Amino acid sequence: MSGEKRILLIDNEEGLCRLMEQILLDNGYIARAYTSPQKALYDFSPDAWDAVITDIKMPEMSGLELLKKVRGISRDIPVIMITAYATVEMSIQALRMGAYDMLTKPFEPEELVYRVKNALNQSRLIEENRELRHELESKFRFENIIGASPGLEKVLEKVEKVAVRDTSVLVTGESGTGKELVAQAIHYNSPRRGGKFVAINCGALTETLLESELFGHRKGAFTGAAANRLGLLEAADGGTLFLDEVGNLPMSVQKTLLRFIQEKEFIRVGETAPTRVDVRIISATNADLKERVRQGTFRDDLYYRLDVVNIHLLPLRERRSDIPQLTAHFINQQNKRFGTRIRGFSKDAIPLLNNFGWPGNVRQLKNVIEACMTMESEEYISTGTLRQFIEPEGLTVQEKSTGKAVSDNFSFDLELEIFERGLLKKVLKKNYGNIDAAAKEAEMNIATMYRKIKKYGLLKNEYR
C-alpha cells in the first residue's frame, strides 16, 4: 500500500483522467482528477499533494507551463509528464524544467503505478536527505558546543569568524579536547556546508596507504591496487578535508600535500596527469609542530600553509566551570539513548567530579559518565560508582596532598604509581612515542617499559 499518498491528476481528456484516478485508487493512493489545469493550479499547494501527473498538450494551458508554475511553488514535488507525441527535444526540455519522468500514451496500468511509486520513493529520499543534513547542521551549530567558560567563549568567537572565510585552519590541543568537533562546526557553518566533511587520521595508516587514501591511485600502481580508486581529496570536492594528527604525516606525503594546497591540484598514485579539486583543509594536532619544524621532521612551508589561523583548545582542567554543563549534557544524552532516568551525581560525588584532573579531557568525561550510568542502579551516581572509573593520577596536586576526594586506601604504593605513570608519559612525550629511546632515557629494560605502558594504558601514538 502507498501509505495514503495523494496524487494530483491533470488531463483535458476526462475519460483518461477518470481511468488514471481509478487505477491509483485501486492501488491504495488518494487521487483527484482535474480536466482544467487552471482549476488544478488554483487548488494546488505543496502540503496537499505528494505527486503531480499532467498531460503536456492541453488547450487551456500546456503541461510545460503548468510544470513551470508548480516548480515556482514547490521545487521538490515530483511531476510526471504524459504525452502521446514524445520527442527527444520535448523530453529534454521537460526534464530540464524539473519534470521527474515522462510517460507515453498509451500505457498499461502497471506502468503508471510503477512510475508513481518510483517518483514517490525519490521524493522520500530527497526529504530524508534534507532531514539528515538539517540534523547534521543542527548537531554542529556553535551553541551545541557545550560550555560557557571564558576560554571556550573566545574559541567560539574565533570559530564563527573563520567559518565564513575559506582559509586553512590548524586546531591544536590535547587529545580529547574536541578538535574534530570544532572542525565540523567550522564546516557546517561555512559556505561549504552543502559539500562533504571528510576526515582522516594521518597517524593510523602506513605511508603508502595514506598517500593512496588521500590522493587515490591507478590500478596496478602498487601491490594490492586491484582497481582504480578515488582519494579523499576528490571525495571532499566542494567541501572540507579534515587532517587529524597532521603532525604524523610522512615527509613524502607532506610534499604532495603542499603542492596541492599551492596549486589546487594533485596527481593520483600511478598517474601522470593532474586532477583539480576545490577543497578546504582543516588540520589538527596534539603535537608541537613548531618543535617538529625545528627538528626537521615537519616541513616549515607546509606548517605555515596549514597554520594560517590557529585555534587552540584548552584542556578541561583549565575550564572546570564547564564540567557541570558538560555533565548534564552527557547524562541527558545517555538517558535519551537508553531510556534511563539518571538525574545526576550525588552531593558527595560532585566535588570529586569537579576536582578531578581529567587527563583525557572531554572525551574521558563523556566515557566516565557513560560507564557510571551503566553501573549505577540509583537515581544519582554515587561516589563509589564514580571512583570505579577515575584513576588517581588524574587528581589535582591539592587533592594528593590533602587526601580529599581520595579513598581511605590511599597509600605509598598509590603515590608511587602516580609518579611512575607521570614519568612514563613525560619520557614518551619527549621521545615522540619512541619506546626504545624512552626506555634508555628512563634507564629501564625495554620489556619492563612495554609492561608498564600496558599496565597504565598508555598509547604511544598519543605522544608522536
In whole angstroms, how far apart are CA 24 and each of 27, 34, 43, 121? 5, 14, 20, 16
pLDDT at 7 over 90: yes
- Please state, for a pLDDT cut of 90, what percent of the chain lies above it: 44
How confident is the model over 420-449, as a mean pLDDT? 79
Instruction: Pick from 127-131, 298-302, 395-399, 442-446 the range whose average pLDDT is largest.
Output: 298-302
Average pLDDT over residues 277-297: 95
The reply to whether 272 falls in a domain is yes
The pLDDT value given to residue 173: 95
Range in 212-226, 245-259, 433-447 with the lowest mean pLDDT? 212-226
Using one digit for the tens of pLDDT, what is the confidence trace for 369-423? Answer: 999 999 998 999 999 999 999 865 444 434 443 334 333 333 334 445 666 777 7
**Are residues 159 and 304 both part of a single domain?**
yes
* CATH assignment of the domain containing 228: 3.40.50.300
In a domain, 1, yes or no: no
pLDDT of residue 288: 93
Candidates 410, 421, 432; CA nearest to 456 is 421
Q: What is the pLDDT of residue 394?
A: 47
User: Which residues touch 62 (CB under 8 Å, ≥6 apart)?
Assistant: 56
Asked if 299 and 333 count as a contact pair (C-beta separation under 8 A), the reply is no
Both 288 and 231 in one domain: the answer is yes
**Nine-digit cell string for 233:** 581529496
How would you classify residue 6: left for phi > 0, otherwise alpha for psi between -120 and 50, otherwise beta? beta
| pLDDT value at residue 314 | 95
How much is the average pLDDT of 19-35?
91
pLDDT at residue 377, rounded to an integer? 87
Q: How many domains does one find in the chain?
A: 4
Domain co-membership, 173 together with 159: yes
Distance between CA atoms of residues 366 and 135, nearest Å: 21
Among 102, 135, 168, the domain boundary falls at 135
Mean pLDDT of the chain: 84
Q: Which domain holds residue 381?
A: 317-402
Q: Say how far apart CA 162 and CA 310 lie, in whole Å.
A: 10
pLDDT tens sequence across 39-70: 998 888 878 889 999 998 888 888 899 999 99
72-117 residue pLDDT tens: 888 888 999 998 876 777 778 888 888 888 888 888 999 999 999 9
- Residues 111 and 149 reside in one and the same domain: no
pLDDT at residue 368 is higher than 70 = yes
358 located within any domain: yes
407 occurs within a structural domain: no
Same domain, 170 and 307: yes
Task: Determine contact, residues 213/244, Cβ cutoff 8 Å.
Answer: no
CATH code of the domain containing 325: 1.10.8.60
Question: Is residue 249 within 8 Å of 257, Cβ to Cβ?
Answer: yes
| Confidence category of residue 450, pLDDT binned at 50, 70, 90 | confident
pLDDT score of 219 = 76
The Cα-based distances of 288 to 159, 174, 309, 386, 414 in angstroms read 21, 10, 16, 33, 31
Q: What is the pLDDT of residue 3?
A: 54
Top pLDDT among 123 and 343 is at 343
Q: What is the pLDDT of residue 130?
A: 66
Residues 164 and 281 occupy one common structural domain: yes
| Per-residue model confidence as pLDDT tens digits over 152-207 | 989 988 998 999 999 999 999 999 999 999 999 999 889 998 899 999 999 888 88
Checking if the pLDDT of 303 tops 90, the result is yes
Most confident of 68-72, 426-430, 451-455: 68-72
CATH classification at residue 63: 3.40.50.2300
